[in-house]
Amino acid sequence: MIRFDNVGLRYGSGPEILRDVTFHVLPGSFHFLTGPSGAGKSTLLRLLFMSLRPSRGLIFVFGENVADLPRPGRAALRRRIGIVFQDFRLLDHLTTWENVALPLRVMGKKESDYAEDVTDLLRWVGLGERIHAYPEILSGGEKQRAAIARAVITRPELLLADEPTGNVDPAIGNRLLRLFVELNRLGTSVILATHDYSLMEQLEAPRLMLDEGQLKVSGT
């Protein structure tokens, strides 16, 4: 599903932020992405989402060499990926329900076909009473949960999550982890970036460990 071969990334003429990164992700797998702050976790996720291009090396997503793809081709692949950004990226003029339903609406689905699923998912992530609220009145943790719900509502083939439990209490964090695990059980590959070791200890999954721009894989 995903393959990185000796990938390096630098901005301008500065030093490499990532160097010689090599790993692969199989369909239906679950990986934790970890490392100290500033290690490059968010940058690696942006490369996976094809919003950044590497300075060197090869990246294959769903079997396609990203370097060979024109913009429409990359956009088509992104539609198969769900992503949870650290800055949420909710649309301020849409309610919580409308933000979560947006990917389905963009796909051309009828509201009557997905309305119940959106409502049920929002209740699951603890936002049942915030369905009609706008982002400006949501707390950071509530925005995080809304962003997660939006990322998983389409049951993507690959889910990228950047510190998805960083703004919620441990009980909600554990519940969100169960949501990711269930999505993975249904066939979605998951890469969850976190520095929360208590969260990682709850699930036996390989760890992609970044340190000083280099990556090591721990576990099988």
End-to-end CA distance of the chain: 16
Q: What confidence tens digit (pLDDT) does each residue in 124-136 have? A: 889 999 999 999 9
Q: What confidence tens digit (pLDDT) does each residue in 8-33 have? A: 999 888 889 999 999 999 999 999 99
Q: What mean pLDDT is reported for the chain?
A: 92
Q: SS3 for 189?
A: strand
Q: Are 64 and 81 in contact (CB under 8 A)?
A: no
In total, how many domains does the chain have? 1
Q: Say how far apart CA 62 and CA 114 lie, in whole Å.
A: 27
Q: What confidence tens digit (pLDDT) does each residue in 92-124 have? A: 999 999 999 999 999 999 999 999 999 999 998
**84 is in which domain, residue-wise?**
2-218
Match 């990532």 to its residue by tokens. 18
Q: Say how far apart CA 87 and CA 129 lie, in whole Å.
A: 22
What length does the chain have? 220
- The token pair at 204 is 């036996």
CATH of residue 164: 3.40.50.300
| pLDDT score, position 18 | 95
